[in-house]
Amino acid sequence: MAKEKLNLKHDLRQLERVGGRAGTDTIRLWEGYREQAYLWRALALLQMPSTALSVAAALIMYFFADTIIEVPERPQPGFYSVKQLPDSQFINAATTVVNLIATYQPAVARRQFKTARKYLWEPALTEFEETMMGSELRTIEETKRSQMFFINPRMIKVDRFPELDMVVVRIPGVRQKLIGNEPLPADEMAYYVKMMTIPRNVHNEYGIVVVDMRLRRADERQVSKEDKMEEKARRKDQAKRMKEATES
């Protein structure tokens, strides 16, 4: 009996020792993960306001953002009629051609004439090849002749001929020639550039081509007088048509 009591006490002491060791191990485990626990708790606390701010920002962007729809440009037609193009397009084309052939230096005249040739159409192309690219260019290079043409933008005029699908642009100005460094007397001239349209291409955005070009001497007073006479005739014709329409 006494021996059994001793065994029981021994077992109880072992149980107490094991229980104490288990508690110590639990505390040590908690201390090892305490820093990570603090970190996760801090992240959880930070996530709450950040989530609220994100939701608020998303709502603001949703209700106040501007919707932009990217629409591709309308494809250009393959052919522009004379009626579809404004006067400014014909003025730009005529001015470009006139500047290429009327303002030059001997060293660049050939290159400019070749560029101007791209704007020409028959019958102007054949005439340009025979005259400007032939005898005129040869004279320029042999005599070292330079030329400047000062366009008078106030006197530029556009005449449309719908029945012929043609446009004539008048480009007046002052022509100054120089032989070497010696200037020749200046002339007041006017270019009359007749144009039409062909199917457009990568080198000609609007398909405007020159079919005829004429040059004549005309000072500013003469050009102004011609404009007044044409305007007077136009008004007279308009009044006549209105009278005929009223009588009928």
Q: pTM, whole model, 2 decimals?
A: 0.64
Enclosing H/E stretch for 239: helix 220-247
- CA 102-124-107 angle, 5° bins: 35
pLDDT, tens only, 200-229? 887 888 899 999 999 999 888 888 888 788
Helix (H), strand (E) at residue 183: strand 182-183
> What pLDDT digit, counting tens, does each position of 6-50 carry?
565 565 566 555 455 545 555 555 566 667 777 777 777 777 777
Question: What's the per-residue H, E or C state across 185-220?
Answer: CCEEEEEEEEEEECCCECCECCCEEEEEEEEEECCH
CA proximity to 212, closest of 175, 173, 169, 172: 169
Contact (Cβ atoms closer than 8 angstroms) between residue 145 and residue 139: yes
Overall residue count recorded for the chain in this entry: 248
Topology at the third CATH level for domain 82-226: Nuclear Transport Factor 2; Chain: A, (3.10.450)
Please tell me the distance from the alpha carbon of residue 176 to that of residue 150, in angstroms, as a whole number: 8
What ranges do the domains of the chain cover? 82-226
Query: pLDDT for 66-92, tens place per residue?
Result: 777 766 555 566 888 899 899 999 999
